[in-house]
Amino acid sequence: MPQNLNRVATMFDKEILKSAHGLNDILSSVADSTVVPENPAASGRYVLEAGTVMIWTGAAFDSKVVPDVAETALPAVIAGVLATTIEFFIGQGVTASAVTDEPVALLHHGCHFDVTQLVFYSGNIANVQAALYTCKFT
């Protein structure tokens, strides 16, 4: 048994919806692992939390999605909100590439979001709400 071992588990379990509306129209896409920030910082883990605002990297519906870290995306490139937490298995010895990309589900139509649980939202509220105009944000 290893001695002097210290591990800390960080769980990302949260409810981003206030109601179940919009769950019949979920987009399926692929998250680009090369731009996923280390989360929690300096932990060696690469996690996108449920509720992360995601944007298209190219033409909508025909490209990968990435988190809107800068919170400056225009409505035309906002794809939706990440439905579940995704962990990317990259880090020591594993370089981020197309092989480490992960499939994701995006909520984008008719949902009622809890804004306190959304990630990369507060700096770009107007554009996110314009892009997801059928959704409610409270």
Rounded to 10 degrees, the C-alpha dihedral 90/96/98/103 comes to 40
pLDDT of residue 93: 84
Per residue in 30-44, pLDDT (tens digit) is: 999 999 988 878 788
Does a structural domain hold residue 53?
yes
Q: How confident is the model at residue 12 (pLDDT cuts 50, 70, 90)?
A: low
Residue ranges making up the domain that contains 120: 26-137
Domain count, the chain: 1
Rg (CA), the chain: 16
Lowest-pLDDT range, 12-26, 63-77, 117-131? 12-26
Per residue in 72-120, pLDDT (tens digit) is: 999 999 999 999 999 998 988 888 999 999 999 999 999 999 999 999 9
Rounded to 10 degrees, the C-alpha dihedral 50/118/88/57 comes to 120
pLDDT of residue 23: 79
Does a structural domain hold residue 76?
yes
Q: Using the Cα atoms of residue 109, residue 13, residue 120 and residue 31 in order, give the sign of their dihedral.
A: negative
Q: What is the pTM of this model?
A: 0.86
Does a structural domain hold residue 2?
no
Residue 80: which CATH number? 2.40.300.10
